Chain A
Amino acid sequence: DAKTTQPPSMDCAEGRAANLPCNHSTISGNEYVYWYRQIHSQGPQYIIHGLKNNETNEMASLIITEDRKSSTLILPHATLRDTAVYYCIVRVVSPANAGKSTFGDGTTLTVKP
């Protein structure tokens, strides 16, 4: 699985958009980009994933660059409850590794009033 690089911490004002970057320059063509977040030592929570197109769901948007070497998770209107550690993961998905994710140290997002 490709390695990812994320800034260790970021701040965001409540109500503003939070843009969390992730570099995955060694990503291969069949690897998906996944984002998870972890709130205060709870289990990580799935947010969104994508292959090469931009994706949006009720929680966030995922923007993947055309060369797929980086991506940005966007929380459109951050709230205090979005304060968490955000993990960007890239991996090939197959029955052989359906359950293996390689986590880095993530980005600690602090949403401030």
Chain B
Amino acid sequence: DAGVTQSPTHLIKTRGQHVTLRCSPISGHKSVSWYQQVLGQGPQFIFQYYEKEERGRGNFPDRFSARQFPNYSSELNVNALLLGDSALYLCASSWASGGTRPYNEQFFGPGTRLTVL
């Protein structure tokens, strides 16, 4: 089975531009989350989408937005890029919890390395 896939792998943008990052979850997973990881730090939660609805948002400005499509893939959009947006952007998918499986583990993709010049 394919794991979580993300595209592109690397991206270079200049300040003020916008960027769209894409993620395809593991087949059957309905929850997709986005994380930003700055060099030397742990991943920071940006968004969670479940069944195409936003279920959580981290402490990120409105320049960051996301959406989930009917096939559960997802896009992360960042407008008006700043130098500080340079980071590894990670996508993670998981199945819904509840019922006989109250726990769930997240499966992460390889990430998109964004460099803002």
In the bound complex, residues from chain A placing their C-beta under 8 Å from that of B56 are 96-97, 99-100
In the bound complex, residues from chain B placing their C-beta under 8 Å from that of A98 are 31, 48, 50, 55, 94-97, 104
Number of A-B contacts (CB under 8 A): 87
How near does chain B come to A55, taking the closest CB pair, in angstroms? 11
Q: Contact between B42 and A106 (Cβ–Cβ < 8 Å)?
A: yes
Q: Contact between A99 and B55 (Cβ–Cβ < 8 Å)?
A: yes
In the bound complex, residues from chain A placing their C-beta under 8 Å from that of B113 are 41
CA distance A43 to B110 in the complex (A): 5
Residues of B within 8 A of A (CB): 4, 31-33, 35, 40-45, 48-50, 55-56, 58, 88, 90, 92-98, 102-111, 113
Residues of A within 8 A of B (CB): 32, 34, 36, 41-46, 49, 51, 85, 87, 93-106
Task: Give 7 A-B pairs besides A34-B105, A87-B42, A99-B31 with Cβ atoms closer than 8 angstroms.
Answer: A46-B105, A46-B106, A93-B103, A98-B94, A99-B56, A101-B92, A105-B40
25 A-B residue pairings within 8 Å (CB atoms) = A41-B111, A41-B113, A43-B92, A43-B110, A44-B92, A46-B107, A93-B104, A94-B98, A95-B96, A96-B50, A96-B56, A97-B48, A98-B50, A99-B50, A99-B93, A99-B94, A100-B33, A100-B45, A101-B33, A102-B45, A103-B43, A105-B40, A105-B41, A105-B42, A106-B42
